Structures are given as C-alpha cells and as structure tokens.
Amino acid sequence: MPSRVLSRRRAVYRVSFSLIFAAFLVLSTSVAVGVATTLHQMSVATPASAADAPPPVDPKYLVILVLDGAEPGYLRLGSLPNLDALRRNGVEYDRAFAGILESETPAGHATLSTGSTPAHDGLLGFNWIRNDNDAVRLFDPSAIRSGQLERVMQEAGAPTIASIFKAGHPRAKVVAVSGHKYYAADPLGGPAADYILYYAPDPKGHYVPTAVPGHVPPASILNDPSLIGPNVSLPPGGEDTLAVKLAMAAFRKVHQQVTLINIPEFDWPLGHVYGGETDRARALMQDFDRDLGFIEKTYRRAGVLNKTVFVVTADHGMAPLKYQVPDSVMDDAVAASGTTSLETTYSTAGYVWLQDSTRAQIVAGDIVNKRAAHIQSVYYKVTRSSGDAYVHAGGMPISPQVDRANQYMLQSFIGGNAPDVVAFCTEDAAFVTTGAASWKGNHGGAAWGSQHIPLIMSGAGVVHGRISHAPARLEDIAPTVLSLFRMSTPGMQGSLLADALANPSRTQTRAQRTLDAALSPVVDALRSESQSELSQ
Ligand SMILES: [Zn+2]
C-alpha cells in the first residue's frame, strides 16, 4: 500500500546503445537457424468454433493491463470467466519473459511501452547515476512530478506506444493509470501520453486520484467522488479496482483509444509481502476478473468492444524468496578493493556502480572468492573499443548455455550507465540487508522466476485459442499490438509475434521462427536453472 515504503534501492547509470546486443542476436541466430524447426514449438489448443468468431473488424481501441509482478500461474487460479474468455478469443504465451535487466517496475513498464530494452529506452531500474554525476532515483514521487523520468525517456529518444499511436491518429487520446505506482504509470504512458494518473493520499488522508504534471485530465475525472477511497487502508483488491474505475471514468469522458493500466497489488503486497500465497492470489484474480468484466461492459456500452485489442501481462516475474544472501557480501568486496560504490541495488541480483570502475574486476573476483551460498555467477564490466561488455568472473559452476543466457540478459542494459559489477542469485534467492525485515518474494535479476511473465493478447485481429510456446518478450508486445492497428514501429527493438495474428504473412511467420530459434536457448537455459519451476 502507498503508506508503506519499500526502502531498499540505491543505484546508478549512464546511457548508450547496444551493438553487442544486436551482434549477439545475429550470432545466435546464425547458429540456431538450422534447428529452427525443432526449437520453434508452437501448438494450437482448443480452437474456437466458427460460431464464436467475431466478424473481422479493424481494431480501433487498445487496452493493456499490467498485473504488476503477477506469476503466470495466477491466471489459472480457478474460474475466471472474463479472463478465460479473453484467452479463448486470443493467444496465450506460456514461456513469455521480461527479457531485460533490471527486472523492476520502471524498466519493465518502459520496455513494454517503448518496445525496446533499457539500453535503448534509458530506464534501467529504480536508481542510477547518468554520466557519472546525474542521479536518477525514481522511488520518489518528486522524480516523476518534476519530469525527471520522462526527461530520461525523451533523451533516450525511443518511440512509445503513445507516440506512435498519436502520430498515426493525432486526435487519439492515450491514458495511463496506476494505483500507488506513479513509477509504473509514468513510463507506461511516457512523454506522449495525454493523461497519466495514479493514486496518493491527500492531506485529509483520503486516497485520491492525481495526475502527473503535464498529463492532467479534465477536472471532472479527478474530482469524481466515486473514485475516492476513504483512506489508504483499503481491503485487498480495493486499490486495483480504483485504478480500473479511474481508467474507465476517463474513458467515459474522453473516449481514449489507448488505455494502459498498471494493476499494483499482485506485486505489493501479494508477491513481496505474502510470497504469492495461493488463497490471496486467487481472491485478487477474482477481483481482477470482475474489473476486467467492468472494462468490457464499459466498452460494450460504447459500442467498441469488438474493435478492441486486450493485452494482459506483467512487468516482471516474482520469485519466492527462500534463500537470503547478505548485501554485505558485495559491500565488503567493494570496500576491500579500495574504492566506494556510487550506488548499489540489491534484489534477486546485486548491481554495483563503482566510483573507480577500473576496480570492477577486483571487486568481482573478491565476491567470487567469498563463495557465498546462492550466488550463481558474478560479472564485471569492461570497456573495449567495440563498446562495453561483461566478463564472467566466476561463481557456481554453470553451463555455457547458462552463461550465454546471462550474457543475453546483461546485453539488455549494457552501455555507459550499466552497473560495473553484477551478481546473479540462484533461483528463489535474493540479496537481503542484514537485520531488515525479510520479504517473501522478490525479482530484479535474470533467474527465471524474476523473468517469467503471463501474456495474453486477445481481440480484433488476434488469433483465437492458441497456446504459444514462443519465447515472447516484453519488448515484442508493442510492435505486435501496433501491427494490428496497421502501424509500423521504426525505432522499436522488439519483434512482431506473428503467431499472435489471425492472418500473419509468410514473411512475418518466418521472421518469428528465426528469432524464436535464437531466443529459445536463452529461455531453456534460464528454465533449466529453475528446479522449482520445472517441477511444477
Ligand atoms: Zn513491478
């Protein structure tokens, strides 16, 4: 809830693009094309009958629902009639993953909206320092309200769903909404969004909708008494429902074509505080399903439900926190190396930005030498004439496939601002400050639990009743949904998921198969490290 503060993050960063990322993909692709047919596993399940199929219509409206930190399994907790219908009328990806570092809320939402990795869209995580002296700390409403987050996005220059949609439809409105997660709503909308809304307590303690300056809607939306919570201690699901009601209040007033909603409670408190406890998760999903029904009812009344594309996904995974690694393992290594850390971020990975980056190899080596339990691998950054790269310093024995998967993840944020040292925890482990209250779940790193996300796309132009095993990434969502609106996406790094389309071209299908073949080894390797996931 908003009154609670997740006091945990310190970090730093600098911007650049990833030629190495591209080179890695090209290399992987050239190796993997030969086995594309075996690696590209795709099946069609429960095809909808012709009677179920709506008449073909061009989509006009887009609704993206980000269930913050929701585990894919939540989407099958019991009967969820509205969600189940979306799945029947759409495609579900059962091996979808964030595909980025850090697997944190601001970075995940930015990757979703920009169709690009943090290396390209500029948003690395919660905290970093750009250009060695420009601190970015996003776990603070003033960082959003002062426009700092959006300046980072603007300077990076990556297009967004909002900017591309509005370039194609200048009069279209784009609205982004959250509950308390201002740091989710802002990157989800981005600089081009019309209205960016979230919830915060007012001076009387009421829980009220507010807008990011520069993205303020008509006053009648924010002042609607039915959208005000009596206080910040709402019952479970109450905050999620308010976010949806706020988005629909905006829809009734301004009829926005693009609605982007962060649904916050799956991450906080469900994942972090309660470890995704099944009964609580089921109850939250039932609330969400009812809210989804409310959205559909609102669109049906407006006569546009059959012209709407829905996406249900998450911004990152959520891993149970069974094993703790003390932050001091990394902090002590920095101190022993004779330099200091400008910033650190500790989650299911540890990220350190050094005052003297030439000490990175020494720090990484010292962490390895401590042989701390549940540190899978340690990498340090080097700067070469060809650009920055990460070198594996050591850790537990890992296969070349896992090392390549880790490298793939590291490429997603590499550049001048990426951390100097990265330590990945094993599955279900996370760094924890000694003496701090322990969470029951976390994310942030490369392990499969932190990366695995739900993904359903449904509606006008989307194939019906398909379960795809394609390794879909957050960055692929924007190019895929925008293609349904016949919009091209120059400047987005992500790729079109052809198997989401009712009528993909052969060229689109071939391109996806090539990429799937390159990415499947990454997903396979991350999953192979995840015994708990594999045993499910
Ligand atoms: Zn999140």
* Nearest residue to 446 (alpha-carbon basis) of 490, 392, 499: 392
Beta strand ranges found along 68-188 (DSSP E): 90-93, 127-130, 134-137, 174-177
Q: What is the CA(330)–ligand 1 centre distance, in A?
A: 24
Residue 55 pLDDT: 53
Which residue ranges in the chain fall short of pLDDT 70?
Answer: 1-56, 531-536
Q: What is the CA(263)–ligand 1 centre distance, in A?
A: 9
Query: 473 burial class (0-12, 13-18, 19+ CB within 10 angstroms)?
Result: buried
Q: What is the CA(123)–ligand 1 centre distance, in A?
A: 14
Q: What is the CA(299)–ligand 1 centre distance, in A?
A: 27
Q: CA-to-CA distance for 54 and 128, rounded, in angstroms?
A: 48
Q: What is the CA(437)–ligand 1 centre distance, in A?
A: 20
Q: Give how far Cα 219 sits from Cα of 245, 251, 295, Å.
A: 16, 14, 22
Q: What is the CA(319)–ligand 1 centre distance, in A?
A: 12
Taking a C-beta distance cutoff of 8 angstroms, is the pair 39, 516 a contact? yes
Q: Give how far Cα 18 sits from Cα of 118, 120, 486, Å.
A: 10, 7, 28
Q: What is the CA(268)–ligand 1 centre distance, in A?
A: 8
Question: The tokens of 177 are what?
Answer: 């909404």
**Number of neighbouring beta carbons within 10 Å of residue 174:** 27
Residue 47 pLDDT: 39
Taking a C-beta distance cutoff of 8 angstroms, is the pair 420, 342 a contact? no
Residue 156 pLDDT: 96
Phi, psi of 95 (to 5 degrees): -120, 30
Residue 56 pLDDT: 64
Q: What is the CA(261)–ligand 1 centre distance, in A?
A: 12
Q: What is the CA(415)–ligand 1 centre distance, in A?
A: 23
For 302-412, where are the alpha helices, taking DSSP H only?
A: 328-336, 360-370, 400-411
Residue 46 pLDDT: 36
Q: CA-to-CA distance for 131 and 255, rounded, in angstroms?
A: 41
* Torsion of the alpha carbons at 142, 148, 150 and 152, rounded to the nearest 10: -150
| Torsion over CA: 235, 240, 242, 245 (sign) | negative
Query: 282 burial class (0-12, 13-18, 19+ CB within 10 angstroms)?
Result: middle
For 384-488, where are the alpha helices, taking DSSP H only?
A: 400-411, 448-451, 474-484
Sheet holding 375-384, edge to edge: 341-346, 349-354, 421-425, 375-384, 387-395
Question: The tokens of 483 are what?
Answer: 């293609």
Contacts of 134 (CB under 8 A, 6+ apart): none
Residue 531 pLDDT: 62
Taking a C-beta distance cutoff of 8 angstroms, is the pair 293, 82 a contact? yes
pLDDT in tens, 94-150: 999 999 999 999 999 999 999 999 999 999 999 997 877 788 999 999 999 999 999
* Torsion of the alpha carbons at 383, 386, 390 and 392, rounded to the nearest 10: -110
3-class SS of residue 176:
strand
Q: What is the CA(313)–ligand 1 centre distance, in A?
A: 11
3-class SS of residue 168:
helix
Residue 480 pLDDT: 98
Q: What is the CA(271)–ligand 1 centre distance, in A?
A: 10
Q: What is the CA(316)–ligand 1 centre distance, in A?
A: 6
Phi, psi of 154 (to 5 degrees): -65, -45
Q: What is the CA(505)–ligand 1 centre distance, in A?
A: 34
Residue 282 pLDDT: 98
3-class SS of residue 55:
coil
Q: What is the CA(68)–ligand 1 centre distance, in A?
A: 5
Q: What is the CA(46)–ligand 1 centre distance, in A?
A: 32
Q: What is the CA(267)–ligand 1 centre distance, in A?
A: 6
